[in-house]
Amino acid sequence: MRWTVLPPTDFLVIGSGVAGLRAAIELSRAGRVTILTKGDPFQSASTFAQGGVAVALSEEDDVSIHLTDTVNAGHGLCRLEAVRVLVEEGPERIQELIRWGANFDKIGGKFAFTREAAHSRSRILRARGDATGNEMVRALLAHVAQQTGIQRMDFHCTVDLVVEDGRCCGAVVLNERSGELSLMPAKAVVLSTGGAGQIYARTTNPPSATGDGMAMAYRAGALLQDMEFVQFHPTALYLPSSPPFLLSEAMRGEGGQLRNHKGEPFMERYHPLGALAPRDIVARAIWAEMAATKTKHVYLDVTHLGADFVKSRFPTIYATCLRYDIDITEEWIPVSPSAHYMMGGVWTDLHGATSLPGLYAAGEVACSGVHGANRLASNSLLEALVFGMRAGAAAVAWAAGQPLPDLTRQAAALRQVELHRLEDAEKLRSSLRRVMWGQVGIVRSRESLIRAVAQLSRWERVVTRPVGTRAELEVKNMVQVARCVAEAALWRENSVGAHFRSDFPDSKRPGWNQHSEICLGKSISKAGGLISGTGGRRSESPVETHGLQRRSALARRLSDPA
């Protein structure tokens, strides 16, 4: 295998969704920026985001109301300062994006705000009906193209982060087309690789969402937080012959009804808000209804909304379902929950800085504290904009005093590394996804989680050796991230938000407001935060240990700068 050292860049951005593109724009004000994208830039989760972006811009809304809705949806585990940053800076970031050419839908010359579950106001901006993420990425890519200091490298998969003298100073990169491996030095690195939905058999995420950034940060020694909180979207298309295509929550916001196999609306039996209850409640209600009726799906009914309205309001969903012979203007849509969004991820402060100097993170890969135990619908795109910008600005400030790193020694060491083949990588990927769906899914228990952790531990031993293809790297990352999720879920012996334990259904057990933390090789204790240490494990190598700890949601404030 041929190794090369690429020309250094001031700033390296890994991932090209909304968070990565916004970070790159900010970084370009202070130096050369390289954006690495695994595969095609239009295959990011941002591009597939349908429903919209939540922002307090309408006449009936206020940032304080948006804050309250977000905190309520997060079940008491949001970081209040992070939510305040989100809602207060969000309007400015959206207005900025509009100036850069983003076109959001209007009615009568005014923005067409809609409402989604757990929002007390109509504050969801949308674009082209149900293509909001795609429009935001388009506008950001166009603005990136105007910046002379930004270089894009598509079809370049990041293998690992490079750490030297306790700081992140670049990455190992795989050219997917040539198979060549390279070192890319950088003063600072911003992770914006998205989530890890592909660790589940059913997911609305694109195939690229394999937890790469979380796994790389974990291997580099960065802290991961709240990994047990995985949001399952209540309504994904259920057909044996199709992938779980997302059916936007906006469909229920516009009046769509959930019905069981008898045709009965059932959500009012589970929550006063009915179909507009928070996502975690709707997903578990559907799960319970499927179990009670011994069926694999329920139905989403929008037929009463009128054919013209449905076609114009949800053109992408209408066209996609029609390809599977479902006319949603005339037929009920078979739906069931699917893994959708990671609330946990690489811990960051309010400026996107991780626990590893020189490494920043924004978007779904990061745990900024905004979402708590359950993300409020349509807050993710806003978080990506706000914290992408913040991460970029913070990386600029940090890198001002840093020289470009010399990775000559690392390059020499890497040339001695022998790459191995991962046997039956696709079989392992498929088996892992089934285990996670069955044992670490919407409803969990001690028994199911112990089985999952044991199996994942066996698989982790298989994927420890260096590999050299994208498919093999993805499986390695999926195994490591899945284990983090399973171990954190086993540790949290209560039910809160998206995490539900059938053996601990009470949400207010002692310690309910504490955060799980996982870090490789050491137990992390930060000022004002550590409550107690639990669990952990030791593998063949003494440097591969999980430190899993609890931190109070309130104590977190003491260690985060405003």
Mean pLDDT in runs of 10 for the chain (562 residues)?
81 96 97 94 66 90 95 95 98 97 92 86 88 90 95 95 94 93 96 97 93 97 97 93 83 93 94 89 94 94 96 92 95 96 97 98 98 93 97 97 88 84 92 97 97 96 90 96 96 95 89 92 32 26 38 34 31
Tally Cβ neighbours within 10 Å of residue 91.
16
pLDDT, residue 420, reads 87
Letter for the amino acid at 540?
E
Letter for the amino acid at 182?
S
CA 173/CA 145 separation, integer angstroms = 23
pLDDT, residue 549, reads 52
Using an 8 Å Cβ cutoff, are 6 and 173 in contact? yes
Q: What are phi and psi of 469, to 5 degrees?
A: -125, 155
CA 230/CA 343 separation, integer angstroms = 6
pLDDT, residue 544, reads 30
**pTM score, whole prediction:** 0.89
Q: Hey, what CATH class is 3-228+340-409 in?
A: alpha beta
Task: Give ranges for CATH 3.50.50.60 in the chain.
Answer: 3-228+340-409
Q: What are phi and psi of 306, to 5 degrees?
A: 100, 135
Task: Give ranges for CATH 3.90.700.10 in the chain.
Answer: 236-338
- The secondary structure of the chain in percent helix, strand, coil, rounded to multiples of 5, reads 35, 20, 40
Pairing between β-strand 530-538 and β-strand 545-552 as defined by DSSP bridges? antiparallel
Active site residue ranges? 279
Q: Which two tokens stand for residue 373?
A: 């135990």
- The dihedral formed by the CA atoms of 418, 424, 428 and 429, expressed in degrees to the nearest 10: 90
Q: Which two tokens stand for residue 214?
A: 């979380």
Please state the three-class secondary structure of 430-445 as a single string: HHHHHHHHHHCCCCEC
Using an 8 Å Cβ cutoff, are 452 and 461 in contact? no
- Nearest residue to 257 via CA among 267, 248, 247: 267
Is 236-338 a domain of CATH 3.90.700.10? yes
pLDDT, residue 555, reads 30
Using an 8 Å Cβ cutoff, are 334 and 222 in contact? no
Q: Is the dihedral of CA 214, 504, 535, 356 positive or negative?
A: positive
Tally Cβ neighbours within 10 Å of residue 205.
26
Region of residue 107 (phi > 0: left; psi between -120 and 50: alpha; otherwise: beta):
beta
